[in-house]
């Protein structure tokens, strides 16, 4: 018990002294997961919009696949990306394995389906409300999609935040494709896993505290976006 | 079902389906219109002929099918059977030349002004007209507010301004003054009358007998899925042509 309390004391000391190693790990985590979330939005949002508004053959199949991909286990994504990027894999020549780029790719694959599925739901609900009015106004498909995305902007922002939250907290994918290499690919979650097993509880706890604060921050941001939207009757 | 899909998708190929050119409003000829939901026929062989000008008031009890008739005339809904002919054009081909003010207006999640800007831009109209349109319906002072926070009556006025923004040849109005205060009712009637005097064809659904008297050139009374009376206003009000209309005007329940 005493050792845990000591570790906690050390952990807070690390956090408040802005320890250089700690900072490096946190910043890499943020860089990887923010980039992955941004790329996932660029890919997932148009797919979500297409499925929400489009009426094409195979739409139901796309829907099922999209929803199934939402629950992809991170370690499986990590494994698949590893197989592609490893030296003998089809993309091995790129030399990306054990780099931050590999981690970004893995996390993008992990959360793009989430962004697509959630934004599909948001846009389809809004379209159900607007469709008749838009047809009366003779809007084109493009005008319709643009108006829906703009009017759903607050909801879509929370979708992006949810994607980031999932990415920054996952460990299974980044540990496989990143390898948790010190000063290279060590992020918060992989560092916590390693330091805990090595018995350096202070560093693990320090990172845990920061990760928790980030998670709380994301949730607070989602909440405040919702409240802003509600206040302006943009919901 | 395939009819519904083809209406939302790419324009059909028949020449008659090509969007009609703008211009003077065409006459309307409706023949044997049937609209069913499952077994129940909401419209059951409705026929109606309207000339190219003036203000036609459509009346009838709740659930008579007035709102659905407007949507059919506007080309938003395919009939189960029957024919709608706007001077040689189908209803879907006429959508762009008409504006429909819905009974429950759907406003964008934007400011009042942005709701008008959106339509002006989408329909390639002069963006400078926005302030004039808002002033026209008495909403200039609300321009910056979120449209979804408007009162019921203000929302209806915004919906009317948005409809006028498209410069329609035919204006379809579904109880546009249902939640307005008396002064606003008269103001809106003035705006609609102005549009009619400019040559816009008005088709106006109302339950307000006083309003119908003030506005109507002719009155169409819907009952049991058909037109049970259609006569010029100066004949309709003194001597309704059917029992249902007489009961309705007397304030008795019509079933
Ligand atoms: N999608 C639908 N499916 C089944 N029934 C419908 C549908 N839409 C409308 N109806 C029915 O059609 C009937 C006519 O509806 P409509 O909205 O045209 O009435 P209305 O004459 O405008 O009535 P009100 O005066 O109350 O506005 C109603 O009984 C309604 O329940
Ligand atoms: Mg109605």
Contacts of B109 in chain A (CB under 8 A): 151, 233-235
Q: Mapping DSSP to helix (H, G, I), strand (E, B) and coil, where does residue B95 land?
A: helix
Question: How far is residue A62's CA from residue B55's CA, in Å, rounded to a whole number?
Answer: 49
Measured in angstroms, the CA of B5 and the nearest CA of chain A are apart by 9
Indicate yes or no: CB of A151 within 8 angstroms of CB of B109. Answer: yes
Q: Report, as ranges of residue numbers, the positions in chain B whose pLDDT lies below 50.
A: 1-16
CA B65 to ligand 1: nearest atom: 18
How much of chain A exceeds pLDDT 70, in percent? 98
The neighbour count for residue A58, using CB atoms within 10 Å, is 8
* B37 pocket-lining for ligand 1 (C-beta < 6 Å): yes
CA dihedral A29, A32, A37, A42 (to 10 degrees): 170
What secondary structure letter does DSSP report for B129? Answer: G
Class of B28-107+150-249 per CATH? alpha beta
Say what the pLDDT of residue B254 is: 77
The mean of the pLDDT values for chain A is 93
Cα–Cα distance, A62 to A71 (Å, whole number): 15
Domain ranges across chain A: 2-231
Q: Give residue B168 CA to ligand 2 midpoint distance, Å.
A: 21
* pLDDT computed for residue B252 by the predictor: 84
**Ligand 1, atom 25: nearest CA belongs to which residue?**
B62
Task: State which of B38, B67, B222 you would mutate to test the pocket of ligand 1, scoring each by most atoms of that ligand within 8 A of its C-beta.
Answer: B67
> Is it the case that residue A11 has pLDDT exceeding 70?
yes
First to last CA, chain B: 31
Give pTM, 2 decimals.
Answer: 0.85
- Closest partner residue to A232 among B74, B123, B146, by Cβ? B146
Residue B18 is predicted with a pLDDT of 55
Higher-confidence position of B8 and A78:
A78
Residue boundaries of the structural domains of chain B:
28-107+150-249
Dihedral, B185, B189, B192, B197 alpha carbons, nearest 10: -170
Residue B58 and residue B69 in contact, taking contact as beta carbons nearer than 8 Å: yes
Does domain A2-231 correspond to CATH entry 1.10.3720.10? Answer: yes
Interval A14-63: pLDDT, tens: 888 888 999 999 999 999 999 999 999 999 999 999 999 988 999 999 99
Under an 8 A CB cutoff, do A137 and B110 touch?
no
Does B99 touch chain A if contact means CB atoms closer than 8 Å? yes
Q: Is B97 in the pocket of ligand 1 (CB under 6 A)?
A: no
Nearest atom in ligand 1 to the alpha carbon of residue B38 is 4
Three-state secondary structure readout of chain A: CHHHHHHHHHHHHHHHCCCHHHHHHHHHHHHHHHHHHHHHHHHHHHHHHHHHHCCCCCHHHHHHHHHHHHCCCHHHHHHHHHHHHCCCCCCHHHCCCCCHHHHHHHHHHHHHHHHHHHHHHHHHHHHHHHHHHHHHCCCCHHHHHHHHHHHCHHHHHHHHHHHHHHHHHCCHHHHHHHCCCCCCCCCHHHHHHHHHHHCCHHHHHHHHHHHHHHHHHHHHHHHHHHHHHHHCCCC
């Amino acid at each position: 018990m005493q050792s845990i309390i000591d570790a906690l004391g050390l952990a807070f000391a690390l956090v408040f002294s802005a320890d250089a190693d700690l900072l490096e790990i946190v910043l890499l985590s943020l860089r990887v997961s923010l980039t992955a979330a941004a790329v996932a939005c660029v890919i997932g949002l148009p797919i979500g919009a297409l499925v929400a508004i489009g009426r094409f053959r195979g739409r139901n199949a796309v829907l099922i696949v999209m929803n199934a991909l939402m629950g992809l286990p991170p370690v499986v994504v990590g494994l698949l990306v590893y197989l592609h990027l490893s030296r003998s894999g089809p993309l091995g020549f790129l030399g990306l394995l054990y780099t931050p780029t590999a981690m970004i790719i893995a996390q993008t694959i992990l959360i793009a389906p989430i962004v697509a599925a959630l934004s599909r739901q948001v846009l389809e609900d809004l379209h159900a409300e607007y469709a008749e009015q838009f047809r009366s106004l003779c809007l084109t498909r493009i005008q319709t999609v643009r108006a829906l995305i703009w009017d759903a902007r607050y909801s879509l922002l929370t979708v992006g935040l949810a994607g980031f939250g999932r990415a920054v907290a996952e460990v299974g994918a980044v540990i496989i494709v990143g390898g948790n290499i010190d000063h290279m690919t060590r992020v918060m979650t992989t560092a916590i896993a390693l330091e805990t097993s090595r018995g350096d509880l202070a560093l693990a706890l320090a990172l845990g505290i920061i990760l928790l604060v980030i998670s709380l921050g994301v949730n607070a941001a989602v909440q405040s976006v919702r409240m802003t939207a509600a206040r302006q009757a943009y919901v | 079902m395939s009819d519904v899909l083809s209406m939302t998708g790419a324009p059909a190929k028949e020449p008659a389906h090509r969007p009609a050119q703008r211009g003077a409003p065409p006459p309307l000829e409706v023949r044997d219109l049937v609209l069913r939901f499952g077994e129940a026929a909401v419209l059951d062989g409705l026929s109606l002929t309207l000339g190219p000008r003036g203000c036609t008031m459509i009346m009838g009890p709740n659930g008579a099918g007035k709102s659905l008739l407007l949507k059919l005339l506007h080309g938003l809904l395919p009939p189960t059977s029957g024919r709608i002919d706007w001077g040689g054009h189908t209803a879907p081909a006429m959508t762009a030349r008409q504006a429909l003010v819905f009974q429950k207006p759907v406003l964008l999640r934007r400011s009042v002004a942005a709701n008008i800007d959106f339509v002006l831009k989408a329909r390639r109209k002069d963006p400078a007209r926005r302030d004039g349109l808002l002033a026209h319906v008495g909403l200039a002072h609300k321009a910056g507010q979120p449209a979804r926070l408007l009162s019921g009556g203000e929302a209806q006025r915004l919906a009317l301004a948005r409809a006028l923004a498209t410069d329609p040849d035919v204006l379809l109005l579904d109880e546009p003054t249902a939640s307005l205060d008396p002064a606003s009712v008269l103001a809106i009637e003035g705006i609609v009358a102005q549009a009619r005097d400019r040559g816009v064809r008005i088709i106006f659904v109302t339950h307000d007998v006083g309003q119908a008297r003030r506005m109507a050139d002719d009155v169409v009374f819907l009952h049991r899925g058909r037109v049970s009376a259609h006569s010029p206003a100066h004949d309709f009000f003194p001597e309704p042509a059917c029992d249902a209309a007489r009961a309705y005007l007397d304030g008795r329940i019509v079933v």
